[in-house]
Structure 1
Amino acid sequence: MILEKHADYIFLLHTTELNRMEKHKIARKFLQSIVSVIEDGDNEIKTNIFGKPYFVYKNIYFSISYSSNLICLAISNLNISIDCELMKKIEFMPISDRLFSTSEKKCIKDSKDYDTFYTIWCSKEASLKYIGIGLHGGKKLMNDLSHYILSQKNLNKKVLNYGYFKIVVLHNNRKLYIIKC
C-alpha cells in the first residue's frame, strides 16, 4: 500500500466483541504495521501527560477510537483526531445537561434525535483529542476548547454515519481517504 504524503487516512477495522485492552492492542499493532510501510526506523510510541500517544522519532500523527466492534485509526503527517461511538438508544438529555453547553443542549432538544447527540458528542471528543488532552479537562474546559477548536478555519470536520456508528474526524483541509478493513 502506497500512501500519499499530502493526504489523511482513516482505517475502519471490524472486530469481534473484544474488551478495551484487546482493542487497544489490535489498534496499536495495526498502526505500527502501517507506519513501518510508510517510514523505516524506530516505531516507539509514548504518551503525553494527558495520555495522548505519539511517535517519538517520526513526524506521523495518529488517533485511535473504538466502540463496540469497530476500531477507527486516523493517520496523517499533520495533526489529526478521530472519535467513534455506537449510536445506542440512551437517555441523552441527562448527559447533555451535565456536559454540553447551552447552545448544544438547545440544538439537541430541538432535534430530539440520537444523530444530533452523537454528532456533538463525537465532535467534542475529537476536538479534545486533537489538542492532546482528551476528556481530562472537565466540563468548562471541554465546552470552551471544543468550541474554539471546531471554529478554526483550517480545520475540516468530517462527520460519517457508518452503519450504527457515528464517526467524526478532525483534519486539515486536504484529501481524506477512508479504507475499510
Structure 2
Amino acid sequence: MSSGILLLLYTLFAATVFLVRELSVHAALSAGIVFALLFIPFRKVRGGIVPILFFLGFTFLSNVFYRTGEVLLHIGPVRVTDEGLRLALLRTVRVFEMVYAAKVLAAVVPLDAMLASLKRILAPLERIGVPVHDFFTVTALTLKCFPVLAQRLREEYRKGGEKGDAGGPGERIRRGVSFLVPLFAESMRDPEGFFSRQENRMQ
C-alpha cells in the first residue's frame, strides 16, 4: 500500500477519533492500535513513553474533576462525577489513539516516503506561490542531519571521557554548546552539503 494512501487513512482515522464520542467505539479502536503495536519493534514503541504517559495522565486529571453529573466520589473539595469520568476517559483515549496510531504509521512508512507523499499532496499550492518544493527539500535534509549531529556529539563526549577532561555538568554543557553551535550554523547555511560531508565522514 502506498504511503499516500496510508497518510489518507490516518487522516480519516484522526477525523473518526475526534468525531466519535462513544467509548465502546474508542475501546475497539484502541484495541486495534494495541494489536498493530505488537508487530512493531518494542524499541520504537517505547520511544518517548515517559512524556506520553505524563501527557496522558495530565489529560485525564485535568478533565476528571468535571463539576456536573452524578457524584461518584467526594473527598473534601474534590468531586468526581460520572460525566467528568466519561469526559476524562474520552479525551485521554483520543490522545492515546492519535499518538500511537502515528507511531504505527511512522513504523510502516519511511520518513522519506512520508515527506514525498505530503509534498505531492500539497504540490498544487505551488501555483499560488507557496514554496512547497523548497520547504520539503530543506525539511528532509534537516531531519537527516539530526542523527548525524547526535552521533558527532556522542563522539565528542567519548573523546572527552577518554582524555579525562569531561568535567562537571556545567563544563559538559559548555563543551556541548561550543561544539553544536558551529555545526548547526553550517547545517543551516548548506544542509545538503553538510549532510553529504558528515555522511562521508561517518563511513
What TM-score results when the alignment is normalised by the length of structure 2? 0.24
Larger fraction in strand = 1
Larger relative contact order (Cα-Cα within 8 Å, sequence gap ≥ 6): 1
What TM-score results when the alignment is normalised by the length of structure 1? 0.26
Structure ID, larger Rg: 2
